[in-house]
Amino acid sequence: MHTTASASLGDLWDRLTGTQSAPEQWLVIVTGVVALGVVVPHGFWRVARNAVTIAHEGGHGLVALLTGRRLDGIRLHSDTSGLTVSRGRPTGLGMILTAAAGYTAPPLLGLGGAALLGEGRITALLWIATGLLVAMLVMIRNAYGAVTVIVAGGLFLGVSWLANTDVQAAFAYTVVWFLLLGGVRPAFELQAKRRHGGAGDSDADQLSRLTHVPAGMWLFLFHAVSLCSLIGGGRWLLAV
C-alpha cells in the first residue's frame, strides 16, 4: 500500500514537473487567431472579459498580500467589473503597487504563461492556474464571483486531468494568447472612458492621487506593459 501510494505521488510529481513536446506551429497560430477572434468582437468580448477581470482583481489581491496589506475580499460582477478591498496604509508604496497591479496583471500572467509554454511545461501551467484560482476563491465575497471562479477552475482542472496532450496544448496556448491579447484592450477602453469624462475613480486616477503623477502617465504604463508583454510573449509562443 505504501509503495503504491509513493509510486502514485511520484507519477503525480513527474506529471507536474515534466515537459511536453511543443505543438505544431500551425496550432500555435490557430490558437492565437481564436483568441483574437474572442477579444476583438464586442459580443464575445463582453463574456470573455470576465476572465480578464479575474486576473485583474487577482492581481490587486496578490500584490496587496505581498506588500503586507490585509485582503478583506474580492467581488466580481456580471457587468465584468470587480472590486478588491484591502486594509492598510492608505498611502505609500504598498498601496501604489496594489493599485497598479490590476491592469498589468493579465498581460504579465500571459507573459509568464508564454515563458512556461516556451519551456514545454503545459501541464504545469494548467495546474498553476488551477491553484491560483482555488486560492482566489477563498477571498471571493459574492455569489457571481464564486460561480465564475469555480467554473474557470473546474475548466482548467478538467483539461489538465481528463484531456489528452493535444487538447491540453490547444487549451493552454489559447488561454495564454487570450491573456496577452485581452490584456491590451482594457487600457484602451479605460482611455476612451476617461476621454468622455467617465471612470473618474479608475485605477489610473487613484494612482494619480497617490503619486501626484498624471493619470495619463499611468495609462501609458498600462499600455507599455500590455504591448511589451504581447510582443515578448508572442515571440516565445511562436518560437521566433
Backbone φ and ψ of 119, nearest 5°:
-95, 5
Sequence-separated (6 or more) residues with CB below 8 Å from residue 198: none
Radius of gyration (C-alpha) of the chain in whole angstroms: 19
Helix (H, G, I), strand (E, B) or coil at 71: strand
pLDDT for residue 46:
95
What is the pTM (predicted TM-score) of this model? 0.92
Distance (Å) of CA 177 to CA 4, 114, 196: 39, 8, 30
pLDDT for residue 22:
84
Q: Tell me: pLDDT of 6 over 60.
A: no
Q: Which of 76, 55, 54, 52 is nearest to 188 (CA)?
A: 52
pLDDT for residue 199:
73
C-alpha 105/C-alpha 61 separation (Å) is 11
Q: Per residue in 51-67, pLDDT tens?
A: 999 999 999 999 999 99
Number of structural domains in the chain: 1
Range of the domain at 73: 2-238
